[in-house]
Amino acid sequence: MSEHVTNMEWYRAFYWTAKVGSLSGAAERLYITQPAVTHAIKQLESQLGSQLFFRTSKGVKLTSEGEMLFQHIGQAFNFIHAGERRLAERHALTAGEMRIGAGDTLCKHYLLPRMRQFHEQYPGIQFQVTNRTSQETVKLLKEGAIDFGIVNLPLEDPRLHIQEGMLVQDCFVVAGTYHKWQADERPSTVRWEDLDRYELLLLERGSGTRAYLDKVAAKNGVALSPSMELGSLDLLSEFTRTGFGIACVVKNFVEGELAEGELVELTIDPPIPPRRIGIATLKDVPLSTAAKAFIAILQ
């Protein structure tokens, strides 16, 4: 007797014959002929060295050894069927989970509204969101801790596939209560080299947005020296509305404050070129059906 049976079709024939108590019934379930079921069971019995069934007037019944084997095989097939059901649910977007990495600003202003939209359509899909900078998000992605990341572009990495998402525009804003305007009328246009005349509020170093702004400033011959560095766009907006200085923010995400007059956009000469938000995935790593569906909404 061989120690292991490698032909799983024999076990399928055994399982369904035991399940329905009939060779013909098992054949119908497996879409094969009854002689094929009989042959598979005989092969399995020969391999195991045990009689698994005996015939009755109504079909077949398990022997004591067959009963013992079915307890184990039945559990195995139950797990297989559960896995198939779970997989079908995922394909139908009725169940599943996706792990996303994104910074605070992108989470609140870009990711959350689209998560809400997706959740209304597919309530069975669970989200796990990790808040990190774009650089840290890329690290998590390479470690397999997240399925995809929402990052600030530009970003180049040979291990990543980057899909372009929403177009965003960085801009400088100020509150009407900024004390500099009390003594000096607000200029219609601010040149890059004049920014050091004012208290400058910027995101902390290490973020993709700050790196992009520093790069644009350098192209205009300026090294930015902020009086205050903060960790999020919301903090920048709040401190600016309070009158602490000029801040560089993403215009798309402060449209409400601009419309209400809480913030006023300053024209910078030359202007900051627009950029895009990106969706980063690992090359050659397949995404779940849910992740693909959600990324389609993000683009």
Mean pLDDT (whole number) for 99-114: 91
Residues ≥6 apart with Cβ < 8 Å to 44: 5, 7, 10, 11, 13, 14, 52
**What pLDDT is recorded for position 69?**
92
Contact between residue 217 and residue 269 where contact means Cβ atoms under 8 Å apart: no
pLDDT of residue 44 exceeding 80, the answer is: yes
**What pLDDT is recorded for position 190?**
87
pLDDT in tens, 238-294: 999 988 989 999 999 999 999 998 998 999 999 999 999 999 999 988 888 888 889
Mean pLDDT (whole number) for 64-72: 91
Domains with residue ranges and CATH for the chain? 8-91 (1.10.10.10), 96-168+277-298 (3.40.190.10), 170-273 (3.40.190.10)
